[in-house]
Amino acid sequence: MRLLPAVEGVALHLAEVLTQLHSPIGNLSFEFSSSAFDKKTCTKIKSSLEQINRNLTVVHILGASLPKELRDRFAKATGLLHHRTTADIMVTFSVIEQALKSGDALPSRMPTPLVVRSLEHGRNADVVALTKNMLRDRRFRIYAVMVGSYMGVLSLLDELVLVLKEELGEAYVVAQEAEV
């Protein structure tokens, strides 16, 4: 539980930073800019980042309150602790960050959609089937909210990739043939 104040502090700080972007984004329609991002796109990106922040905060806070068996179920069902899942999420965050900084097109091949990958992992996971008693249990309902928030994060990342690809385009890697 010592982690909760840190999580809350980071979430509040990020919310403040994103809130401070409201006026500058609003002024974009009045300023000439060489940026690839217009007011509408910046508003979409800001909104998605705010929702990601809220969802990640919910996942952290609820995850800290769940018993170990439900945290383990969450990890298995979502693939969260699988190295490939972690790598896919981090790559997606990194590519989004780089595109926002540079305005460069996103790679045509990305490890998205993350939601589909997570659902496929969950389909293959070895978790106990749902029962009526599980659904009546308050802790399991908290678990369900946590899963929904996590899937929300993945969905928003997938959406950000689409928004950025629409705005910036896609980059294709064409290998040069080696000389013989």
Encode 142-167: b = buried (16+ Cβ within 10 Å), e = exposed: bbeebbebbbbbbbbbbbbbebbbeb
Domain membership of residue 179 (yes or no) is no
Q: Are 63 and 81 in contact (CB under 8 A)?
A: no
Q: What is the pLDDT of residues 73-98, one digit of tens each?
A: 999 888 888 888 889 999 999 999 99
Q: What is the mean pLDDT of the chain?
A: 85
Domain membership of residue 172 (yes or no) is no
Domain membership of residue 123 (yes or no) is yes
Domain membership of residue 145 (yes or no) is yes
Residues in the chain: 180
**Into how many domains does the chain fold?**
1
Regions of the chain where pLDDT drops below 70: 1-4, 25-35, 174-176, 178-180
Domain membership of residue 11 (yes or no) is yes
pTM comes to: 0.81
Domain membership of residue 175 (yes or no) is no
Q: What was the pLDDT predicted at 33?
A: 60
Q: What is the pLDDT of residues 30-51, one digit of tens each?
A: 555 666 778 888 889 999 999 9
How far is 53 from 78, CA to CA, in rounded Å? Answer: 19
Q: What was the pLDDT predicted at 126?
A: 75
Q: What was the pLDDT predicted at 174?
A: 67
Q: The tokens of 160 are what?
A: 């950000």
Domain membership of residue 163 (yes or no) is yes
Q: What is the DSSP letter of 21?
A: T
Quote the domain boundaries for residue 150: 3-167
Domain membership of residue 178 (yes or no) is no
